[in-house]
Amino acid sequence: MKFVSIVSGTSTDGLSIANVELNGYNLDTKYKILSGRNKAFTPKLREELLKVAENTKIDTEFVSRLSSKLGKVISESVLSLDLDYDIISYSGHTVYHGPSVGKGRNGTLQLGEISFLVAKSGKTAITDYRITDMAYGGLGAPLMALSDYIIFKKPSTLTVNIGGISNVTYLDSNRFIAFDTGPGNMLIDLAMFYLYGQTMDKNGQIALSGKVSTQLLEYLMRDPFFKKKPPKNSGREYFGSAYLQRIIRRFPSLKGGDLVRTLTRFTALSIQEQVEKFIDGALSDIVVGGGGTKNPVLMQDLNELFNGKVRTFSSTGIRDDLREALGFAILANQTLHGAAGRLTDIQTMSGPVLGKIVPGRNFDEIFKLLM
């Protein structure tokens, strides 16, 4: 069966769209990425999404309009690619995630109404994985652990995703551990926009111009988040603009290049220290994906901290920027087969089925194929 998988992550830079063919499910899953594209958000749409995610005072009309607007952008983006697919999988664009600030009772909120693409394409969609995971007692993030287990099936493998937030999955012979380690590109991107009006540190050029501030780095590594035991997650609610402004107020004389360089090292060091603190197992393979792989300074720091063991998803045949899109396609495939999207027992491959199904005109046809 063929999927179009759409991911909109916490970096809020745009959509990752992958056309994926999947056969089988659970550990028998066979996958093939047919194609992949990234579609950048317009500056206006990015500004509006960040406005909601930064907890700015807004009204319900703004949120509703924005969710519909994003849904139409998704629909137009996918339809413009003329892809062959049967099922749509959409991650949802997270603008609020209660567990990241210790308020799981407040739930999680994703924008981007996928029904617009369902109506235009006639294809069935699966979405809202995070809230169903929370309803079954999970944290709603990170959600790539099961797909990584299906992809690698290799003990002692650590996978790292560096998007806006960084998260890791550790695979052992009879268990896996998955949790957010702290900021990914988020603080670097925010600093670049605040200081230079740029959305990212392209090729790590600004970081290369600066030096690590030991004083700031030590201050950042004392953050209480790093003492919390997994499972845990975080988001823009915690490591967002307010966090950056506190840093700037505390270290007002720090040069721009030194700030960006220190935040880059902070991202790498927080990943390495969290792994060292909370994963009690050998690391035979460390595979990194996500937007952070495009930052050579960050990747160099990771390699140094992990003693040269780091490689990227691209070395496994999976494009670094499509790792999550493949993962959400696998989650949708699990849902279609009534199989777990998060494992509570790794031996029996059992756990809650995640996501909600939005029937398209091909709904009957899809489920006849599965019977």
Helix (H, G, I), strand (E, B) or coil at 217: helix
Q: Please report which helix (H) or strand (E) contains residue 358, including its range.
A: strand 356-358
Q: Please report which helix (H) or strand (E) contains residue 336, including its range.
A: helix 323-336
Residues paired with 94 in a beta bridge: 110
Domain boundaries, the chain: 2-138+322-370, 148-321
Burial of 80 (0-12, 13-18, 19+ CB in 10 A): exposed
The fold adopted by the segment(s) 148-321 is Nucleotidyltransferase; domain 5 (3.30.420)
Measured CA to CA, the distance from residue 175 to residue 137 in angstroms comes to 18
**Which pLDDT tens digit goes with each residue over 169-222?**
998 877 788 999 999 999 999 999 999 999 999 999 999 999 999 999 999 999
- Domain 2-138+322-370 annotated CATH 3.30.465.10: no
Measured CA to CA, the distance from residue 44 to residue 14 in angstroms comes to 12
Tens digits of pLDDT across the chain (371 residues): 999 999 998 888 899 999 999 999 999 999 999 999 999 999 999 999 999 988 778 899 999 999 999 999 999 999 999 999 999 999 999 999 999 888 999 999 999 999 999 999 999 999 999 999 999 999 999 999 999 999 988 878 999 999 999 999 998 877 788 999 999 999 999 999 999 999 999 999 999 999 999 999 999 999 999 999 999 989 888 999 999 999 999 999 999 999 999 999 999 999 999 999 999 888 888 999 999 999 999 999 999 999 988 999 999 999 999 999 999 999 999 999 999 999 888 888 899 999 999 999 999 999 887 77
CA distances from 206 to 190, 269, 298 (A): 13, 19, 12
